[in-house]
Amino acid sequence: MPTCTPFAATDTDPADASQISVAGELLTLLRDTTTEPRPDTQLEALTLAVAADLPVLLWGEPGIGKTAALTQLAASLDLPLTTVIASVHEPSDFSGLPIVGDDPAEKGVPMAPPDWAVRLVKAGRGLLFLDELSTAPPAVQAALLRLVLERRIGALQLPPGVRIVAAANPRSSAADGWELSPPLANRFVHLQWTHDHEVVVRGLGGTWPRATLPRLAPARLPEAVDYARRAVCGLLSARPKLVHQLPGNETRRGGPWPSPRSWEMTLCLIAFATAAGSSRDVLSLLVRGTVGDGPGLELLASLDRMDLPDPEMLLADPEGAVLPGRGDLRQAVLDGVVEAVRNRPEKSRWDAAWALLVQAVETGAPDLVVVPASTLAALRREDWDVPASIEGLARAVSLSRRADDAAARSAVPVKAGR
């Protein structure tokens, strides 16, 4: 039987060492990338939510670039990044490990935090990245509740300078995935993370977009808070059922849905987006990612109505009035003008309303004027003279009606002959 000889250490071949060094240089060149300011709606939404100190959850398929985006975000904001894979931890890693002291009856049993939490506290700031959240079992998700909402791990309180961002794959593409529990899901701003072909190609070429903190205008802060409160409170006053709606579907419960907590987050995001002058697309991502698509779209529509001109201001100066370009908003303004005349019918106000309707016909689609014109005509008093401008308006409305009737007749299928 052959005997085994012990492995004898040999000197490294200088040629092999040289090749490893060359490989290292090549890897360094491949990692040598730059960044550039580039408009990116989802990156701006993420950065705004981070600035607002709200927990964010990025949803996306594997390999879409969620982790890379968080790494680049931390570097851009000069925040140390701490990555924690939620699925490989025990519940005690987030709730704290019990440590028995000298006299538990006197001092109790403290809950010791994990080392990464201690490092965050010592640094005083950082970006805590909870990765693979959808693969964390329910017991771990329950332990994460206090961390995400109260920023506490055992007996340790994370400092205000720490921001929390998580990432998850849809259950269908997650490794042994779970649906998020409703209490945990309702603590996040949910952002759907997708790839932009141009960004990927340019990034692979060596230049990635750079995330920057939104520039908040100090002079606009009180106005932004007032605007956000009026927007949210106005919608919920008119639609009280939207205050709390727990979805019946398990999958939807693991996403954004309306509750007093998520409405408070929405109010905060509207204020930040207003103070930063963010675009409508960015605000839409944030609002729908907090209270869901349905309530979020209702809120966005109410924001549009809040920005509409006051009907009384239009009636006071119809010649200088500027009507909205969008058809639905213009329709709402015209309806509001007619309603204002109905509430206080006066000859001068009636004439001013007709002048506004004429302007609407001259600068937009005539069909938007049909209903307001008919309603306004019904408000005429016997001693009110008919304005001369109505004649041209009547022709435009009549043509619009005939065009609609012709379109309706052409849409009716012709019966086949017997």
In a domain, 29, yes or no: no
* CATH number of the domain residue 116 falls in: 3.40.50.300
Assess whether 254 and 278 both reside in one domain. yes
Assess whether 63 and 205 both reside in one domain. yes
Assess whether 290 and 376 both reside in one domain. no
Assess whether 201 and 147 both reside in one domain. yes
The residue with greater pLDDT, 96 or 219, is 219
Whole-structure pTM value: 0.75
d(CA 56, CA 265): 11
Assess whether 200 and 144 both reside in one domain. yes
The yes-or-no verdict on residue 416 having pLDDT over 70 is no
Which range marks the domain in which residue 232 is found? 218-306
pLDDT in the model for residue 325:
84
Q: pLDDT band for position 417 (50/70/90)?
A: very low
Assess whether 226 and 370 both reside in one domain. no
In a domain, 418, yes or no: no
In a domain, 11, yes or no: no
CB of 54 closer than 8 Å to CB of 286 = no
Q: What is the mean pLDDT of residues 393-414?
A: 56
CA-atom Rg of the chain in angstroms: 31
Q: Looking at 306, 331, 352, which one is the last position of a domain?
A: 306
Task: Please tell me the total count of domains within the chain.
Answer: 3
Q: Tell me: the pLDDT tens digits for 38-49?
A: 888 998 999 999
Assess whether 301 and 322 both reside in one domain. no
Q: Looking at 154, 183, 209, which one is the last position of a domain?
A: 209
Assess whether 69 and 174 both reside in one domain. yes
Q: pLDDT band for position 136 (50/70/90)?
A: confident
Q: What is the mean pLDDT of residues 53-66?
A: 89
In a domain, 58, yes or no: yes
**Percent of the chain scoring above 70 in pLDDT:** 85
In this structure, of 7-16, 209-218, 371-380, the range with the lowest mean pLDDT score is 7-16
d(CA 358, CA 4): 102
Q: Tell me: the pLDDT tens digits for 194-227?
A: 888 888 898 889 888 877 778 899 999 999 999 9
Q: Tell me: the pLDDT tens digits for 122-134?
A: 999 999 999 888 8
Assess whether 68 and 152 both reside in one domain. yes
Assess whether 254 and 338 both reside in one domain. no
Q: Looking at 241, 274, 306, which one is the last position of a domain?
A: 306
Assess whether 127 and 159 both reside in one domain. yes
The yes-or-no verdict on residue 3 having pLDDT over 60 is no
In a domain, 32, yes or no: no
Assess whether 186 and 241 both reside in one domain. no
In a domain, 17, yes or no: no
Residue 256 neighbours by CB distance under 10 Å: 26
